[in-house]
C-alpha cells in the first residue's frame, strides 16, 4: 500500500507519448489473470521478441516470474471496456477473467495462459530475460506462437485517452509535375523501390546548371548516382563523377530534396541528396537554365 501511495502522478509530458494497448495474460495456481499494458514493444524480428514493462505491485509480474510465460493480446478499437477493466483492477482485487460478459478467451497453443479473443495480434511468449529498470520490470518474451487479424484495427492511447487509427499521412514531399518520359526514366531506375535514393551534384554558373545527357534518352539531369544501401553517398558519387570523366570538386555539405514526380496518376518518390560542386574545367559540359522544371525544384 505504501508503494501505491508513494507512486508519482505522471506529468503531462510523460502522458504525451502515443502507444498501442495490450492485454497481458498470465496464470498462477489461483487461476488465470489479465492486465492492461501500454509499454509493450516488439524488439527483434529473428527470433521475434517482445518486451513488456510491468510494475512491481501487480499480480501479473508475480505470475510471470513463477511460470516464465505470458500472452500478449494487442487490443482492437472495440475493446475499450476490456482494457479499462484489465487496467483498472488488480487480480488481487477481483477475478477479472471471470466477470460476466467482459472477456472472451481463446485456448492457447503453446503456453498455459489463456489468450483474449477479438484482438489485432495474439502472441504467446516464453520468458527469456527479466530486468529491473526504474520502477518497472522489463520482461522479454520469445514468441512461440503468433497470429493477427487484419480485419481489426488497433486501439491507441494518448494523453490518458483511447483513440482509433486516423487517416494515413503521406510524408511531406515537394510535388514536381513532369512528362511521361522523365517519370518512366526515374521509375525504371527505382526498380520497384518505393523511394529512389539519389546523390547528385549541383554545379551552377550564373543562371545555368551543369547537366549531363543520359544515353538513349532526351533527358538531361544534374550528374547523379544511386548509391548502394549502406555506402557513403559522397564517396559513391565521386566515383561515378570520375567515371563520367567530369572534373568536378564535390563539397562536403549537402542538402536533401524530397520530391515526388507526378504524371497523371503515375508517381515516383525520390530523395535527392545534393552536394554543391565546383567545375574545374568547362569543356565538354552542357549547361541548362535554372528555370527548367526538374532542376528548379532541386535548387
Ligand atoms: C491504459 C493503461 C495502460 C497501462 N499500462 C501499464 C503498463 O505498461 N505497465 C504496467 O505495469 N501497468 C500498466 N497499467 C496498469 C495495470 O494495468 C494495472 O496496475 C493492473 O491493475 C494490474 O493488474 P494485475 O495486478 O492484475 O496484474 C496500465 C493501465 C491502463 C489503464
pLDDT, one tens digit for every residue, the chain (299 residues): 444 445 677 888 988 999 999 999 999 998 999 999 999 999 999 999 999 999 999 999 999 999 999 999 999 999 999 999 999 999 999 999 999 999 999 999 999 999 999 999 999 999 999 999 999 999 999 999 999 999 999 999 999 999 999 999 988 999 999 999 999 999 999 999 999 999 999 999 888 899 988 888 888 899 999 999 999 999 999 999 999 889 999 999 999 999 999 999 999 999 999 999 998 776 667 888 877 766 666 66
How far does residue 186's CA lie from ligand 1's centre (Å)?
50
Cell of 162: 483511447
CA distances from 287 to 41, 176, 179, 295 (A): 52, 21, 20, 11
pLDDT at 116: 98
CA–CA dist 198, 268 (Å, integer)? 13
pLDDT at 2: 42
Test site for ligand 1: of 27, 58, 88, most ligand atoms within 8 A of the Cβ: 58
Q: Which atom of ligand 1 is nearest the CA belonging to 24?
A: 27
90 CB less than 6 Å from ligand 1? yes
Closest Cα partner for 258 from 236, 238, 273?
Answer: 273
Alpha carbon 200 to chain centroid distance? Answer: 27
pLDDT at 285: 74
Cell of 254: 549537402
Find out whether 133 and 53 touch, Cβ atoms under 8 Å. yes
How many other CB atoms are there within 10 angstroms of residue 235's CB atom? 11
pLDDT at 235: 97
Q: Which protein residue has the closest C-alpha to ligand 1 atom 15? A: 87
How far does residue 87's CA lie from ligand 1's centre (Å)?
5
pLDDT at 284: 65
How far does residue 150's CA lie from ligand 1's centre (Å)?
26
CA–CA dist 71, 113 (Å, integer)? 6
Q: What pTM was computed for the model?
A: 0.87
CA–CA dist 41, 50 (Å, integer)? 6
Q: How open is the CA angle 262-267-273, to the nearest 5 degrees?
A: 85
Find out whether 273 and 254 touch, Cβ atoms under 8 Å. yes
Q: Which protein residue has the closest C-alpha to ligand 1 atom 4? A: 37
CA–CA dist 71, 122 (Å, integer)? 7
63 CB less than 6 Å from ligand 1? no
Q: Which atom of ligand 1 is nearest the CA belonging to 96?
A: 26
pLDDT at 299: 64
pLDDT at 52: 98
Q: Is the dihedral of CA 142, 145, 147, 153 positive or negative?
A: negative
Amino acid at each position: 500500500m505504501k508503494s501505491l501511495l508513494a507512486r508519482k502522478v505522471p506529468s503531462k509530458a510523460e502522458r504525451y507519448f502515443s502507444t498501442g494497448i495490450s492485454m497481458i495474460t498470465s496464470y498462477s495456481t489461483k487461476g488465470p489473470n489479465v492486465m492492461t499494458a501500454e509499454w509493450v514493444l516488439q524488439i527483434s524480428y529473428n527470433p521475434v521478441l517482445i518486451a513488456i514493462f510491468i510494475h512491481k505491485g501487480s499480480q501479473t509480474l508475480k505470475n510471470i516470474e513463477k511460470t516464465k510465460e505470458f500472452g500478449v493480446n494487442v487490443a482492437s478499437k472495440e475493446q475499450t471496456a476490456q482494457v479499462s477493466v484489465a487496467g483498472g483492477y488488480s487480480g488481487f482485487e477481483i477475478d477479472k477473467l471471470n466477470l460476466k460478459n467482459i472477456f472472451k478467451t481463446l485456448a492457447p497453443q503453446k503456453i498455459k495462459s489463456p489468450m483474449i479473443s477479438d484482438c489485432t495480434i495474439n502472441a504467446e511468449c516464453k520468458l527469456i530475460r527479466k530486468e529491473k529498470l526504474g520502477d518497472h520490470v522489463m520482461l522479454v518474451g520469445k514468441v512461440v506462437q503468433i497470429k493477427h487479424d487484419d480485419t481489426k484495427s488497433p486501439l491507441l492511447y494518448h494523453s490518458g485517452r483511447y483513440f482509433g487509427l486516423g487517416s494515413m499521412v503521406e510524408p511531406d514531399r515537394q510535388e514536381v509535375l513532369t512528362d511521361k518520359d522523365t517519370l518512366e526514366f526515374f521509375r525504371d531506375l527505382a526498380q520497384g523501390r518505393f523511394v529512389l535514393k539519389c546523390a547528385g551534384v549541383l554545379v551552377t554558373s550564373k543562371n545555368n546548371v551543369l547537366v549531363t545527357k543520359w544515353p538513349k534518352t532526351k533527358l538531361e539531369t544534374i550528374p547523379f548516382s544511386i548509391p548502394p544501401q549502406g555506402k557513403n553517398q559522397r564517396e559513391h558519387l565521386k566515383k561515378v563523377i570520375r567515371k563520367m570523366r567530369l572534373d568536378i570538386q564535390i563539397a562536403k555539405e549537402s542538402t536533401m530534396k524530397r520530391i515526388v514526380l507526378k504524371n497523371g496518376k503515375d508517381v515516383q518518390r525520390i530523395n535527392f541528396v545534393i552536394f554543391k560542386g565546383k567545375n574545374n574545367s568547362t569543356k565538354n559540359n552542357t549547361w541548362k537554365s535554372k528555370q527548367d522544371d526538374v532542376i528548379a525544384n532541386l535548387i
